[in-house]
Chain A
Amino acid sequence: DIVMTQSPDSLAVSLGERATINCKSSQSVLYSSNNKNHLAWYQQKPGQPPKLLIYWASTRASGVSDRFSGSGSGTDFTLTISSLQAEDVAVYYCQAYYGTPSVFGQGTKVEIK
Chain B
Amino acid sequence: QITLKESGPTLVKPTQTLTLTCTFSGFSLSTSGVGVGWVRQPPGKALEWLAGIYWDDDKRYSPSLKSRLTITKDTSKNQVVLTMTNMDPVDTATYYCAHSVNGNSPISTYWGQGTLVTVSS
How does the 8 Å CB contact mask read for A8-24 relative to B, with 1 for contact and 0 for none?
00000000000000000
**In the assembled complex, how far is the CB of residue B78 from the closest CB belonging to chain A, in whole angstroms?**
19
Q: Is the CB of B107 within 8 A of A52?
A: yes
Q: Is the CB of A99 within 8 A of B48?
A: no
Alpha-carbon separation in the docked complex, A105 to B109 (Å): 18
Q: Is the CB of A98 within 8 A of B105?
A: yes
Which B residues are in CB contact (< 8 Å) with A100?
52, 60-63, 104
How does the 8 Å CB contact mask read for A29-58 relative to B, with 1 for contact and 0 for none?
000000000101010100011111001000
A68 CB-CB contact with B under 8 Å:
no
How does the 8 Å CB contact mask read for B40-55 relative to A, with 1 for contact and 0 for none?
0000001111001000
Which B residues are in CB contact (< 8 Å) with A107?
46-47
Option from B47, B52, B104 in Cβ contact (under 8 Å) with A93: B47
Q: Is the CB of B105 within 8 A of A104?
A: no
Within 8 A of B (CB), among A50-74: 50-52, 55, 61
Option from A38, A61, A95, A101 in Cβ contact (under 8 Å) with B62: A101
Which B residues are in CB contact (< 8 Å) with A106?
46
Residues of B at under 8 Å CB distance from A? 37, 39, 46-49, 52, 60-64, 96, 98, 102, 104-109, 111-114
Residues of A at under 8 Å CB distance from B? 1, 38, 40, 42, 44, 48-52, 55, 61, 93, 95, 97-107
